[in-house]
Amino acid sequence: MSDQYQADKRRRDALRRMGIDIWVRRQPVESSAVEIPDTEAPAPTARDASLAAPPTPAAEAATAANGDVAAMDWATLEATVAECTHCGLCQGRTQTVFGVGRRDADIMVIGEAPGAEEDRRGEPFVGRAGQLLDNMLRALGYGREQVFIANILKCRPPRNRDPEPEEVAACRPYLARQIALVQPAVILAVGRIAAQNLLDTDRPLRMLRQQVHTFRQGDVPVVVSYHPAYLLRSPADKAKAWDDLKRLRERLPAGAEVHA
């Protein structure tokens, strides 16, 4: 069998694990597309919009204290994150969740914040949502270890609530430095909160998904998609997520695909 056949088979298997039906056209005739109902999450509230608001004085002070983050190497950055006390989340964490994966990856995945299991294990995207993310990456031809995965926040918010603006501001220099060190070809922002904070906007997810954006530092293309946890609750939108992944694949450099 050819390498292309094997690659196509792996991609089909990954799509099946995502729960996306694969249709094979038997005749060279056009077929009409099936309209998928829009089961988008509710439009953001005024509180959601506040996540992109200017940081508070306390958050600005935390950012100023991190002024040398932009010069840190990986080891120094990871040690600094582990000891960070710039916001109140440090008081309730088990450990920080720095990020995992290849540190010169083509793809960088950015989510919202650690959950309970991530806080316990110190690794982002574990559990069922992490398994679905792994399948999404396999559909692109990448293994989990071949991308870099991080979150907007490095500590878990209590009861998994939405991040507060000062918490996001305190972690922003860390994430910006991670992006600068990885130098990814493209960023995949999963979920509304991750996308809005990364792009400094209050636009709803359904609008952010419709185009490729640019991260303000480094001119890195950003593709927005659903959070895997949302897709577990709304499997009908997995086909839309696959459309997002195809948009991301178009931004990868030629020959970058790695068949896992």
All structural domains of the chain, each given as residue ranges with its CATH number in brackets, are 46-249 (3.40.470.10)
Are residues 76 and 174 in contact, defined by beta-carbon separation less than 8 angstroms?
no
What DSSP designation does 213 have? E
Give the separation between CA 103 and CA 6, rounded to whole angstroms.
27
| Strands across the sheet containing 186-190 | 100-101, 148-151, 107-111, 186-190, 220-225, 213-215
Alpha carbons within 13 angstroms on the beta-carbon side of residue 151 total 27
Determine the pLDDT at residue 104. 97
Residue 132 is which amino acid?
A: L
Q: Which pLDDT score is estimated for 4?
A: 63
The alpha carbon of 174 is separated from its chain's Cα centroid by a whole number of angstroms, namely 15
Q: State how far the Cα of 46 lies from the Cα of 87, in Å rounded to an integer.
A: 23
**How would you write the pLDDT of the chain (260 residues) with one tens digit per residue?**
566 666 666 666 766 666 675 554 444 444 333 333 344 444 444 334 444 445 554 455 455 555 699 999 999 999 999 999 999 999 999 999 999 999 999 999 999 999 999 999 999 999 999 999 999 999 999 999 999 999 999 999 999 899 999 999 999 999 999 999 999 999 999 999 999 999 999 999 999 999 999 998 879 999 999 999 999 999 999 999 999 999 999 999 886 655 54
For residue 255, give every residue at least 6 positions away whose Cβ sits within 8 Å of its Cβ, in sequence order, or none. Answer: none
What's the gap between Cα 46 and its chain centre? 23
How much is the pLDDT for 216? Answer: 83
How many angstroms separate the CA atoms of 260 and 205, rounded? Answer: 30
Amino acid 41: pLDDT:
44
Closest CA to 177 of 90, 91, 81: 81
In the block, tokens 């507060």 appear at 164
Query: CB neighbours of 61 closer than 8 A, spacing ≥ 6?
Result: none
Phi-psi region of 125 (alpha: psi -120 to 50; beta: other; left: phi over 0): left
Distance CA 62, CA 56 (A): 10
